[in-house]
A and B are shown apart, each in its own frame.
Chain A
Amino acid sequence: MTEPRFSLELEQVSKAYGDVLAVRELDLRAAPGELLTLIGPSGCGKSTTLRLVAGLEKPTSGSIRIAGEVVAGAAWQPPERRRVGLVFQDHALFPHLTVARNVAFGLHRWERAERHARVGEVLELVRMGPLADRYPHELSGGEQQRVALARALAPRPAVVLLDEPFSSLDETLRAKVRTDTVAVLRETGTTAIFVTHDQTEALSTGDRVVVMRDGVVEQADTPAAVFEAPATRFVASFMGDADFLPAHVHDGVLSSEIGVVSTVPGWRDDDVEVVLRPHEVALTPAQDGEAEVVAVEYHGAFVLHTVRLVSGRTLRSWQPHSVRHPIGTRVHVSVVGGVRPTLLRGDVAVTEVPAEPRPTR
């Protein structure tokens, strides 16, 4: 058997509950060893997607392949015959079994000696070897999470699904467990799909971030691309803070209320909107400043300033914590040098130079 090109492939998958389409014509692929993060607001279809892959739901149309094998669509495989590992937020360890027996649960068809060796191996991997004889209730939340991961990895699944795996852990523990989990997944070369609703987590965890809304993928790209070049207005505002300003292009120069924003060589006349993130907005106090500071929020390392422009629109700006302009300060607003902000036409980002000048709307 040749190695399949993708560990997981969803092709034109739709899922309807009555009249409601939870997922519509979803295409998604994960290459072997890839870490995908699925993110979106509640009801966006990310949980349904996971349920479809796990085999808890049958798609209304479309097909799903795991490691090259069709599991939904032309054929149907129930969860127990899919090579899918699951890690849940509540860990879902079997309370009546020890750590070792929990991990061995998925290896019941293995030879005794092999099974024993594999249990030891994966427990070593998550550094839980010494606690193999404990029961789940004797473990801390972080330890339970590690056992859940080991249990899911033990039968060598083609893909591991992690459903908000860290949200039951407290803040201080979360970052550490996340780093450890990603390290284990990388070390074993496991294909994994994280579902999360935490933007920071999504940006720092995956090879690719898949942003979903209303059952469709808005953007699937590297964390940097999703943050720096959002494909839609929704992605721009969901993955981090963003303000929007109407702007105009004239002969390759993009200007808005706050002056020239950047240059867009090759463009003629066009009306767009510019996406500005708070860290891209610079403030300079000036008597004749066209904007006024209306709110100051202290965030520790940085201070968030909100300024009101002449038009009444507001922009937010991160300033280092040593800079605190009092409310009422007149400031001059500009875009930090070197930034090439995203431009939107309607709700969609403009990525290429328009072929010919569009008539202004």
Chain B
Amino acid sequence: MAVASISRPRRTSFAGRPAWSLLVLAAAAVVAAPVVAVAVQAVTADDTTGLPRGLGSMVLTTIALLVSVALGTLVVGGGLAWLVTAYRFPLRGILSWLLVLPLAMPTYILGFVFLSTFDVGGPVHEWWREAFGADAWIPGVRNLPACALVMSLTLFPYVYLMARAALLEQSTSTYDAARTLGAGRVRTLLTVVLPLARPSLAAGLALVMMEVLTDFATVQYFGVKTVSVGVYLTWKGSYDFEAATQLSMLVLTFAVAVLAGERLMRGRSRYHQKGGRGQGMELQQLDGWRGWAATLVCLLALSAAFLLPVARLVGWAVAEALDDSSSLVDPRFGEYLGNSLTVALVAAAGCVSVALVLGHALRISGGRFQRAAAQVTTFGYAVPGAVVGIGVLLAFDWLDRVLEWVGTGGTGLLVTGSVAGVLYAYLVRFLAPAYQAVDASLAKVSPTMTLSALSLGASPRRVLTRVHLPLARSGVLVAVVMVVIDAVKELPVVLMIRPFGFTTISVWVYQLASENFWEKAALPALLIVAAAIVPVFLLFRQVRLVDPHRSPVD
């Protein structure tokens, strides 16, 4: 008989803790408010005359960019995952995790490094003209294909990670079975491994496309006008709420389509399949030049996406320092870094507190309803930045009107925007990673432990502070680090709703780069990249746990 236990988490009832249930609902409402605001505003709008011209081409551009980045990341990420998982070649072990590093390179940073190198006036351009003459034809780089290439280079690790996890986990027993049934290596790949990896690939691609939808900074460098850019320009250009809202509704529709597509691709197959104890795919040795060719392919991707841009940034930073040593202590640098860190730390504290309360409340008083509400709080991560931005502004506008109606005279938040808006947007965007980290830690606290604490007379508050918090400490720490770094990196949301005169380090980098002050932008950019390596490492550590061929260097 299955061990019966009163601790089974199933069928937990309301069991009468309305206060905690209410907290969960409140959190869900706060996080959902901006998205709901956008949807409501867009649906109730009187007319659509406010829409900017060129809407059709914007939509087409968005689709083209989404498709090309998806294909790019699929080829690069999927291909590298297969190479690293199925073959043994020199430096495979170390490369298999170095390939995650491009995630630490924000797209807008790689974007400006790329442009400074290949655009008119860059070293490649100069060299080309010297080699083929001043009038020689040269492919332009401020266009969609170049933009898609840059985005693919920074985003492929999402697909790489998911594909690799799928190949490692799913193939363990099924792969062996297919082989014993006489299928060859390639046939097994096509008929067993790939179909099984499909849900994971779909999930990776969905993440990639969400990032593409969220971006409206990088694409502007390249003159690619997506719907998200439309929202930003409409808002910043004319402060036309109506038009911006309707455009962001369009962005939201794209996001929903991407998620629906992922569901469709995933089909009825489950995400993870229990791996069993099989050895999985045996690594096939690549000898001689073939082995080194594989190494070269990995190194090429890594160099293009991470090593070379970092080297170029370091070069600029050093040159700048030698050229004018005062630039290192540019007073603005300290101020903007301070702004970034302050906002990031406050956002982290907020996100982690809410995440902890959510996780705790679900354990104290978890019902189907509360669980659904908690699920809602994690959707913010999938909502594109432009939508969050406009939504937060809308929500503040409503709040303002309510305050005016009450008679306090309003706060004037709408006109100037405020840091509170940025913090709110961060909460919406980053509650999901914080909640996941905290929840992963809390998941290790068995329900029996919570119940034991309660039956020993501890109030829910005491259970939170004396049992759940101490036991979730590592998750809380991870969550704080993730949110701080995500917040420091974040660009679109800040660009959109920062109050006048409030600049963070990421905004500064973006502005310097738009004005072609590459050297000046280098040091803060490097700082952002360095900080972003931390969550990549954390992410990698999680994935690494499932690698059966575990050894750092083969």
Contact = CB atoms under 8 A, between A and B. Distances in A.
A347 B458 CA distance: 47
Interface string B56-85: 000000000000000000000000000000
A344 B546 CA distance: 58
Contacts of A55: 15, 454-455
B206 to A, nearest CB: 34
A41 B7 CA distance: 17
B8 A92 contact: no
Contact of A57 (B13, B446, B456): B13
Contacts of A93: 449
Nearest to A50: B6
A92 B456 CA distance: 12
Nearest to A55: B15
Interface in B11-50: 11-17
Contacts of B141: none
27 contacts: A47-B5, A47-B8, A54-B451, A54-B455, A57-B11, A76-B16, A78-B15, A78-B16, A79-B454, A80-B459, A81-B457, A86-B455, A88-B5, A88-B6, A88-B451, A88-B452, A89-B3, A89-B448, A92-B451, A94-B449, A94-B453, A105-B458, A154-B456, A161-B6, A163-B5, A164-B5, A195-B6
Nearest to B1: A42
A104 to B, nearest CB: 10
Given A48-B6, A54-B451, A80-B459, 11 more contacts: A41-B1, A57-B11, A58-B16, A80-B455, A84-B455, A88-B452, A92-B7, A108-B458, A109-B457, A152-B452, A167-B3
A309 B363 CA distance: 58
Contact of B458 (A51, A54, A80): A80
Contacts of A163: 5-7
Given A56-B6, A89-B3, A108 B457 contact: yes
B536 interface: no
Interface residues of B, number: 33
A146 interface: no
Chain B contact surface mostly: loop
Contacts of A42: 1-2, 4
Enumerate the 3 nearest inter-chain pairs by beta-carbon distance, A residue then B residue, closest first.
A106-B456, A92-B448, A79-B454
Contacts of B471: 94-96
Nearest to A197: B1
Interface string B433-472: 0000000000000101101111111111010001100110
Given A57-B13, A58-B13, A86 B451 contact: yes
A230 interface: no
A213 interface: no
A121 interface: no
Contacts of A78: 15-17, 454
Interface string A79-122: 11110111011101111100000000110110000000000000
A238 B458 CA distance: 39
B50 to A, nearest CB: 50
Contacts of A197: 1, 4
A17 B456 contact: no
B349 to A, nearest CB: 23
Nearest to A44: B4
Contacts of A46: 4
A85 B5 contact: no
A90 B448 contact: yes
Highest count of chain A CB atoms <10 Å: which of B4, B7, B466: B4
A92 B4 contact: no
Contacts, number: 115
A65 interface: no
A151 interface: yes
Contact of B6 (A41, A51, A76, A157): A51
Nearest to A76: B16
Contact of B448 (A47, A88, A96, A106): A88
A193 to B, nearest CB: 11
A215 interface: no
Interface in A163-193: 163-164, 167
A124 to B, nearest CB: 19
A86 B5 CA distance: 12
Nearest to A109: B457
A43 to B, nearest CB: 8
Contacts of B462: 108
A155 interface: yes
Nearest to A49: B6
Nearest to A163: B6
A17 B11 contact: yes
A86 B7 CA distance: 11
Contacts of A109: 457
B446 A90 contact: yes
Contacts of B5: 47, 88-89, 163-164
A151 B451 contact: no
Contacts of A96: 470-471
A80 B452 CA distance: 9
Contacts of B4: 42, 46-47, 164, 195, 197
B455 A85 contact: yes
B248 to A, nearest CB: 41
B457 A86 contact: no
A86 B446 CA distance: 14
Interface in B175-189: none
A155 B456 contact: yes
Nearest to A168: B3
A88 B458 contact: no
Given A56-B15, A109-B457, A164 B452 contact: no
A99 to B, nearest CB: 14
A106 B451 contact: no
A42 B4 CA distance: 7
Contacts of B449: 92-94
A47 B10 CA distance: 12
Nearest to A105: B456
B21 to A, nearest CB: 13
Interface string B327-346: 00000000000000000000
A94 B449 CA distance: 7
Contacts of B466: 105
Contacts of B467: 94
B452 A86 contact: yes
Contacts of A56: 6, 12-13, 15, 451
A152 B3 CA distance: 21
A313 B453 CA distance: 54
Contacts of B459: 80
Interface string A311-349: 000000000000000000000000000000000000000
A94 B472 CA distance: 12
Contacts of B456: 80, 85, 105-106, 151-152, 154-155
B437 to A, nearest CB: 18
Contacts of B16: 58, 76, 78
Interface string B463-484: 0001100110000000000000
B385 to A, nearest CB: 39
> Which among B449, B454, B456, B460 has the highest number of chain A CB atoms within 10 Å?
B456
